[in-house]
Amino acid sequence: MSTVSIPSRTGPSVTVLTGFLGAGKTTLVNHILSTDHGRRIAVIVNEMGEIGIDGDLIVSSDEEVIEMANGCVCCTLSVRNDLTATIRKLLARPEPPDYVVIETSGVADPVPVTQALFVDELSDRIAVDGIVTMVDAKHVDAHLDAFGPDRRDSRVVDQILCADRIVLNKTDLVGPDALRRTEARIGEFNSTAPVIRSSYSRVDPDEILGIEAFGGPAASADGGFFEDTYVPSGDPGIKAISIEVGGELDEAMLRGWLENLTEERSADIYRMKGILAVAGRPRQTILQGVHRLFEIYPGGRWSGSRGSRLVFIGRDLDHRMLRSGLEGCRA
């Protein structure tokens, strides 16, 4: 599969909801579908029967779609688990949703699901918003303890690494000291994603929807874009690399380098983000990427001298090679 460069889009915001078995994803889905929050949210699930929706809150239903009294809908994947077809059906509704939440299975890698949203037929109709990871505060330490260089028990770590928001659920089952230690351990794997505490998956939708992790003005704020630094834990091969270069970059050369890099190292590059000085663009240029996917889009005004800074988070990354590649993109 070729590298995908993500264009700007309009339309419903789409959130990928992930988390290991028992973390509370289904309970969160139920909370979204039953709470009066004033939003039209469509939730896509693998199996409707697993949700256990309160029948008193259902306005109408058929084999694939359930309409709720609060204006939300819940639907299952269409035939052959075709995510694209399911989203097209939602967009064709008389009142299409403002938000779409895709609940993945507990053992799923959320990155392929996210990649499926960037097909041409959806590219100008939806806005990929971010990846939200549910974490079980009571049991996550055991998974983190088992993670190591051999990638044993890596799914929970993968889900944490790619998250734009982390919901630390079941906090009522953990004491305050243990909870702080757990948050610190999560931060060692991903310190750029805000952690939201919850019990019984009760989360304000504003905290997980409309976060614009893959684009939008929030991503280009000078003050917070690089404030948090990823610190590896458990696996010495996982680390963050920060690169700064002066001067301006040639956009075509930059895109070509990123496409080749992500094609060759997509499995090893978990996240990348940057504020770039691109020739011919007076404003900042923002880079956001997850594995093979990346987006380049206009940012805010420069508050100081122009220059480029990139942060890569991944496994067995070569600082010298990455710096050389970025320097080779100078205009």
Which residue did the predictor score with more confidence, 77 or 193?
193
Q: What is the mean pLDDT of the chain?
A: 79
Tell me what pLDDT residue 35 has.
82
Per the DSSP assignment, residues forming a β-bridge with 311 are 242, 273
Tell me what pLDDT residue 47 has.
59
Q: Determine the Cα–Cα distance for residues 126 and 169; give it in Å rounded to an integer.
A: 29
Where are the domains positioned within the chain? 7-214, 218-327
Please check whether the domain covering 7-214 is classified as CATH 3.90.25.10: no
Tell me what pLDDT residue 50 has.
52
Cα separations (Å) of 82 from 85, 127, 172? 5, 18, 37
Which residue did the predictor score with more confidence, 48 or 298?
298
Q: What is the DSSP letter of 228?
A: S
Q: Around Cβ 223, how many Cβ atoms within 10 Å?
A: 7
Of the pLDDT bands very low, low, confident and very high (cuts 50, 70, 90), residue 228 is: very low
Of the pLDDT bands very low, low, confident and very high (cuts 50, 70, 90), residue 48 is: low
The 10s digit of each residue's pLDDT in 82-139 is 788 888 888 988 888 999 999 887 777 777 787 777 665 776 788 888 899 999 999 9
Tell me what pLDDT residue 81 has.
56
Q: Is the pLDDT of residue 217 over 60?
A: no
Tell me what pLDDT residue 4 has.
41
**Nearest Cα to 292, choosing from 105, 164, 162?**
162
> In this structure, are residues 90 and 73 in contact, taking their beta carbons and an 8 Å threshold?
yes
Q: What is the mean pLDDT of residues 156-179?
A: 91
Counting every residue, how long is the chain? 331
Q: Which CATH number fits domain 218-327: 3.30.1220.10, 3.30.1510.10, 3.90.550.10, 1.10.10.10?
A: 3.30.1220.10
